[in-house]
Amino acid sequence: MGNPWLIAGLGNPGDQYAKTRHNVGAMVVDRLCARFGVSLKKVRFIAATAADARADDASVVLAAATTYMNESGPPLASLARKRGVDPGHLVAVHDELDLPFGALRLKLGGSTAGHHGLDSLASGLRTPGFYRVRVGIGRPPGRQDPVDFVLSPFGARERDELEVLVEDAADAAVAIVTDGLEAAQSRFNRAGPPPRS
């Protein structure tokens, strides 16, 4: 059976943010819910939604906070404690400005690189020692403010690749749980968008 895992998709609540770059983590958790045939439900007394799934023989909690990204750590940490999930069994899926659009990078621990969702999670868990699936969204064009950029929707030209990216990030998050970090990294780490078939 083993210890349970938690896959958390970072993002902002509400329809106006649902399709934005900052919400790619939440999109991945939605994709996993669809894949496992479960739906996120409000957790009593915690500002989060969660669903239970099984990946191979691992028990997995899929989750998203219902607070804004920069305050998502405490509810996700509370949920992890409530469900008996060790920080070392938490996988956070999040947008990453420092990677080109379409890139994927998996890692354990390390710097949060100023990502407010990760800062909040590290502070809520009292450790940065959790897994991350870093989903590349690229840098803003020209002089656009990064804040405006991450809160803007993906462009029309990005949408086809976004489908593949969300699918691959979902696979990568599950692979960390079922196959371990090294195997998942060798399969999913990439510096740019997937090659077109």
Residue 146 maps to a domain: yes
Q: What is the pTM of this model?
A: 0.96
Q: Which pLDDT tens digit goes with each residue over 137-180?
A: 999 988 999 999 999 999 888 988 999 999 999 999 999 999 99
Q: Is residue 197 part of a domain?
A: no
Asked, for residue 148, whether it belongs to a domain, the answer is yes
Domain range for 85: 5-188
CATH number at residue 28: 3.40.50.1470
- Tell how strand 58-65 and strand 48-55 pair up: antiparallel
Phi, psi for 61 (deg, rounded to 5): -100, 120
Is residue 194 in a domain? no
Q: Sorting pLDDT into bands at 50, 70 and 90, what band is 1?
A: low
| pLDDT per position as a tens digit, 54-81 | 999 999 999 999 999 999 999 999 999 9
Q: Which residues contact 9 (CB under 8 A, 6 or more apart)?
A: 25, 26, 27, 28, 29, 30, 62, 63, 64, 93
Shortest CA distance to 6 belongs to which of 168, 173, 124?
173
* Residues taking part in catalysis: 22
Query: Is residue 157 assigned to a domain?
Result: yes
Q: Is residue 195 part of a domain?
A: no
The total number of structural domains that make up the chain: 1
Residue 193 lies in a domain: no
Reported residue count of the chain is: 197
CA distances from 164 to 107, 147, 152, 168, 171 (A): 20, 25, 19, 6, 10
In degrees rounded to 5, what are phi and psi of residue 77?
-65, -40
Domain contains 145: yes
Instruction: Indicate if the pLDDT at residue 92 is higher than 70.
Output: yes
What CA–CA distance (Å, rounded) separates 3 from 26? 23
